[in-house]
């Protein structure tokens, strides 16, 4: 066995890179597909969790960023810019700095998890907090890229570099399972990832690597569910800050992925997102950030509504690591983290109700 080389070298022929593209990689991708006994029991299905928090900067964004930043380096630019709810900025900062480019990131003021803010800064980004939401940040980032010699590395980009890299996650699922699943669930924010997975599954099947296509089930947070509502949300609100997006850039493509695959896009309330996050951590040992638990919450909700036929093979993408946003996890834990004992064996045993 040889070491994993990152998504560009592993899937080079599927990606828009040439022999002269300088490969900027942190050996992203190759993430685990973990079986879930809990969700299998609940649904009567075979359920696999694609753990994208295991990427180098802790989210799936690294798959697309290796391509976007490699292409920016190839083009000879000096500066890259992105709008972000946090994970894209963390990833852009790491990859751009590695390539010797200056990362600039625009994030909604006070609305991104602390871990992500720290990542952007330690990786050397020029960080601007924008007094507005993600949609405002994206508008500003696009404007900068139009006016100045700065390359936009958002998945909204017409060059599709980010989406090209992100579709490798679908390739990996097929490579590991031997075929596409019946159903693929994932969270939807700006709607780039659902678009990328659907493209990946289609390309792999067209090339004969899979015999079928999954139905794509995407989920938005109830307070930020423009695709479900069929209209933009001016003031999106959700505990899942990563997907607090009111005007998804890939709206049309997400709807196409839904309709072409015979899938659905639905919304889940914040309470169910947090409950799914906590159960996934406590029962399966997989700690994800709130937005990343949305697919799991969606599956549980669909199961309760009788929409999940047993016997299917299901893959759920959990998109980012739980350590990105410890504040939300600690707030949910409440008094559980406040138990203090003296350095005394009896008191310790009593506190643990062992005596
Ligand atoms: N999960 C996480 C953890 C995310 O950070 C995002 C998007 C999504 C899901 C949704 O993916 O936008 O492709 O539909 N985060 C972006 C960011 C918006 O700026 O980091 P999507």
My answer on whether 27 and 119 are in the same domain is: no
* 253: nearest Cα among 294, 295, 202, 291: 202
DSSP assignment string, 212-277: --PEEEEEEEGGG-HHHHTS--SS---S-GGG--SS-TTHHHHHHHHHHHT-EEEEE-HHHHHHHH
* 50: nearest Cα among 323, 277, 319, 347: 319
DSSP assignment string, 156-174: T-TT-HHHHHHTHHHHHHH
Sign of the torsion formed by the C-alpha atoms of 49, 54, 59 and 61: negative
The predicted model gives 109-118 an average pLDDT of: 96
* pLDDT 10s digits, 232-284: 999 999 999 999 999 999 999 999 999 999 999 999 999 999 999 999 999 99
Mutation to probe ligand 1, out of 243, 252, 268 (largest number of atoms < 8 A from CB):
243
Residue 84 CA: which ligand 1 atom is closest? 19
Q: What is the ipTM of this complex?
A: 0.99
Q: What distance in angstroms lies between residue 20's CA and the mean position of ligand 1's atoms?
A: 30
My answer on whether 227 and 270 are in the same domain is: yes
Whether residue 336 has pLDDT greater than 90: no
Q: What's 77's domain CATH number?
A: 3.40.50.1100
My answer on whether 142 and 233 are in the same domain is: no
Q: What distance in angstroms lies between residue 246's CA and the mean position of ligand 1's atoms?
A: 13
pTM of the model: 0.97
pLDDT band at 1 (very low <50, low <70, confident <90, very high): confident
> With a 6 A CB cut-off, is 53 part of the ligand 1 pocket?
no
Whether residue 337 has pLDDT greater than 90: no
Q: How far apart are CA 27 and CA 129, in angstroms?
A: 30
Q: Is 242 annotated as a binding residue?
A: no
The region of weakest confidence among 119-123, 237-241, 331-335 is 331-335
Domain count, the chain: 2
My answer on whether 43 and 70 are in the same domain is: no
Q: Is 282 annotated as a binding residue?
A: no
Q: How far apart are CA 103 and CA 89, in angstroms?
A: 8
Contact criterion met (CB below 8 Å) for 246 and 188: no
Q: How far apart are CA 260 and CA 316, in angstroms?
A: 19
Q: What integer pLDDT is reported at residue 223 of this predicted model? A: 98
CB atoms near residue 98 (< 10 Å): 18
* pLDDT 10s digits, 154-202: 988 889 999 999 999 999 999 999 999 999 999 999 999 999 999 999 9
Please tell me the residue having the least CA distance from ligand 1 atom 4: 242
Residue 345 lies in a domain: no
Whether residue 333 has pLDDT greater than 90: no
Residue 205 lies in a domain: yes
My answer on whether 201 and 303 are in the same domain is: yes
Mutation to probe ligand 1, out of 64, 80, 85, 196 (largest number of atoms < 8 A from CB):
85
Residue 31 lies in a domain: yes
Q: What integer pLDDT is reported at residue 205 of this predicted model? A: 98
Residue 14 lies in a domain: yes
């Amino acid at each position: 066995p040889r070491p994993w080389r990152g998504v560009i070298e592993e899937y080079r022929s599927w990606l828009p890179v040439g022999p002269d593209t300088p490969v900027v990689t942190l050996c992203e991708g190759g993430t685990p597909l973990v079986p879930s006994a809990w969700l299998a029991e609940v649904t009567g299905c075979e359920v696999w969790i694609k753990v994208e928090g295991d990427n180098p900067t802790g989210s799936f964004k690294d798959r697309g960023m290796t391509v976007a930043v490699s292409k920016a380096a190839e083009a000879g630019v000096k500066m890259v810019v992105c709008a972000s709810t946090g994970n894209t900025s963390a990833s852009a900062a790491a990859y751009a700095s590695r390539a010797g480019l200056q990362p600039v990131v625009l994030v909604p003021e006070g609305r991104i998890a602390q871990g992500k803010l720290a990542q952007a800064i330690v990786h050397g980004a020029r960080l601007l907090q924008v007094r507005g939401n993600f949609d405002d940040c994206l508008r500003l980032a696009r404007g900068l890229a139009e006016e100045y010699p700065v390359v936009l590395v958002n998945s909204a980009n017409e060059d599709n570099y980010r989406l090209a890299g992100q579709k490798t996650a679908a390739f990996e699922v097929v490579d590991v399972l031997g075929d596409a699943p019946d159903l693929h669930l994932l969270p939807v924010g700006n709607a780039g990832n659902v678009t990328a997975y659907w493209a990946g599954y289609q390309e792999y099947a067209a090339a004969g690597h899979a015999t079928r296509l999954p139905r794509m089930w995407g989920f938005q947070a109830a307070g930020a569910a423009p695709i479900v509502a069929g209209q933009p949300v001016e003031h999106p609100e959700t505990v899942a800050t990563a997907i607090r997006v009111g005007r998804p850039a890939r709206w049309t493509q997400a709807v196409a992925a839904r309709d072409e695959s015979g899938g659905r896009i639905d919304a889940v309330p914040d309470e169910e997102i947090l409950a799914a996050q906590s159960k996934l951590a406590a029962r399966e040992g997989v700690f994800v950030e709130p937005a990343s638990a949305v697919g799991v919450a969606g599956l549980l909700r669909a199961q309760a509504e009788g929409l999940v036929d047993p016997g299917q093979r299901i893959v759920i993408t959990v998109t980012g690591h739980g350590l990105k946003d410890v504040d939300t996890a600690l707030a949910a834990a409440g008094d559980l983290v406040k138990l203090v004992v003296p350095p005394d064996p009896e008191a310790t045993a009593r506190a643990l109700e062992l005596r």
